[in-house]
Amino acid sequence: MLPKNFVSSYLPFAQEAQAATRISALAILAQAALESGWGDRAVGNMFFGIKDTDKGKTGKGQLLVTTEYLKTPNQRNLFPEVISVTWNERRNRWKYVVKDWFRKYDTPAGSFKDHAQFFILNPRYAVAMANASDPIRFLQEVAKAGYATAPDYAKVLTQLVKMIQRNLPSDLESFGIPGAVDLFEMPSEEDLWDYMGHQLLATGDGVEQETPSGAENRE
């Protein structure tokens, strides 16, 4: 989906979440764009890559292939299935390609609502919530609190916030970023591939489908 189409389709959900939680709609859309590949890979209406702590037992989870970056190569026990573990020189981390459980939703609206509640109910995001109206600061604090294992998560999201800002309807330009500059740098291809690249969804019937990869650690 083109960025402009993504923004026009999902801005109403982000605005509803902003009204209820004060979390900037820009920040919400940036995370949704990154985690879902601009909406093209929102498997099970999952726009934010939130882990399913019930491990699929309630029927509201899905087992997906994803990417994690960890400091040691001996944490295979954290995941239901490990596909590969390799050293990533660029990020100075061990890159795990694994299968893990993520939440799924009946509708996109359900995903956006759950995302907002996730930050409210998790004390480790208290600092982020204290900066909820500032999209850049909010996302920086979300990254610091461990939402993702990729070390450049906040940087990529900051770039996407600026891109989304450029694609807002003309009557919504008041969603500006405090202290923003005019320069815009696209995330690198490798950065985006980690989150938006084609991976596989392992389903209960043995069928595999394309789904996003990510560097998620949100439970």
Predicted confidence (pLDDT) per residue in 35-84, tens digit: 999 999 899 999 998 999 888 888 889 999 988 899 999 999 999 999 99
Contact indicator for 102, 49 with CB cutoff of 8 Å: yes
Residue 119 corresponds to which tokens in the numbers above? 């930050």
User: Is there a contact between 127 and 105 (Cβ–Cβ < 8 Å)?
Assistant: no
Other Cβ atoms within 10 Å of 202 Cβ, number: 17
Task: Specify whether the CB–CB gap between 145 and 84 falls below 8 A.
Answer: no
Environment class of 122 (CB within 10 Å of its CB; exposed 0-12, middle 13-18, buried 19+): middle
Show me where the domains of the chain are located: 3-212
Could you report the per-residue pLDDT of 109-165, keeping only the tens digit for each? Answer: 999 999 999 999 999 999 999 999 999 999 999 999 999 888 889 999 999 999 999
Q: Is 97 exposed, middle or buried (0-12, 13-18, 19+ CB in 10 A)?
A: middle
**Class of residue 147 by CB neighbours under 10 A (exposed 0-12, middle 13-18, buried 19+):** buried
Encode pLDDT of 151-203 as tens digits: 889 999 999 999 999 898 877 655 554 444 343 455 554 555 455 443 333 33
Query: What architecture is the 3-212 domain classified under in CATH?
Result: Orthogonal Bundle (1.10)
